[in-house]
Amino acid sequence: MNGPNLNLLGQRQPEIYGHESLADVGEACAALASDLHLTVRFHQSNHEGVLVDWIQEAREQGAGIVINPGAFSHTSVAILDALNAFDGPVLEVHISNIHKREAFRHHSFVSQRAEGVIAGFGTEGYLLALRRMANLLGVK
Ligand code: DHK
């Protein structure tokens, strides 16, 4: 699950977020998921409430959540509350190393819910998170 502005991946601040598009990342995740015997739904929204709705849907339809909440990481109690209502594992991904950036990016509300956090590994972080998710779910 991807939050705001990640639809512009590859176009916005490539020196920070890289040159790959979100569609490229989605394709790479789908290919790895197939190797790991996982089914992945890959979503992006610029809207906090839509992300909350998808997290709530995952209560019925998802075993685990890998989320890059974008800027909502640093602001959204609503996303944290929704994740706290989800029973499965949650992994948080940030493409950039948020700890090396502005102070307002150093805190993430989601991190207190996440089993693990990946930051600064570029888009490879999504693939690392998927591998970890397969282990946490005991698949493969
Ligand atoms: C993405 C964003 O859009 C920022 O608002 C976060 C995160 C960092 C990332 O590194 O993927 O602060």
Q: What is the pLDDT of residues 91-137, one digit of tens each?
A: 999 999 999 999 999 999 999 999 999 999 999 999 999 999 999 99
Q: What is the pLDDT of residues 76-85, one digit of tens each?
A: 999 999 999 9
Looking at the CA of residue 72, tell me the nearest atom of ligand 1: 5
Helices (H), the chain: 14-17, 22-36, 48-61, 77-84, 124-137
Residue list, ligand 1 pocket, CB within 6 Å: 5, 68, 70-71, 73, 94-96, 98, 105
Angle 109-110-116 (CA atoms, 0-180°, nearest 5)? 135
Q: Please indicate whether residue 17 is annotated as part of the active site.
A: yes
Q: What's the rounded Cα separation, in Å, for the pair 93 and 110? A: 10
Looking at the CA of residue 68, tell me the nearest atom of ligand 1: 11
Q: What is the pLDDT of residues 6-24, one digit of tens each?
A: 999 999 999 999 999 999 9
Q: Which pTM was predicted? A: 0.97
Say how many C-beta atoms besides its own lie within 10 A of residue 19's C-beta: 12
CB 118 within 8 A of CB 129: yes
Q: What is the pLDDT of residue 126?
A: 98
